[in-house]
Chain A
Amino acid sequence: MSGVALFAHQFRYDQKAFWRNPASVFFTVMFPVILLLIFATVFGDQTVEVRGGIKTTAYYVPAIITLSVISATMQSLAMSLVIAREDGRLKRGRGTPMPAWVFISGRIGNSAVVALLMLALIAAIGRVLYGVAIPWGQLPEIVLTLLVGAAAFCCLGIALTAAIPSQDAAAPIVNALLLPLYFLSGVFIPDDQLPSGVIHFADFFPIRHFFEAFFAVYDPGNAGASMQWGQLAIVAIWGVAGLLISIRRFRWTPRGG
Chain B
Amino acid sequence: MKILVCPLNGPRPVSEFAYGGEVRTMPDPDSCSDAEWSAYVFNRSGSPGVKYEWWCHLASGYWFIAQRDTLRDVVLATLPVEAVRAGLGAKTPRAEDPRA
A and B part of one assembly: no
Taking Cβ atoms with an 8 Å cutoff, the residues of A that contact B are none
Q: B residues engaging A (CB < 8 A)?
A: none
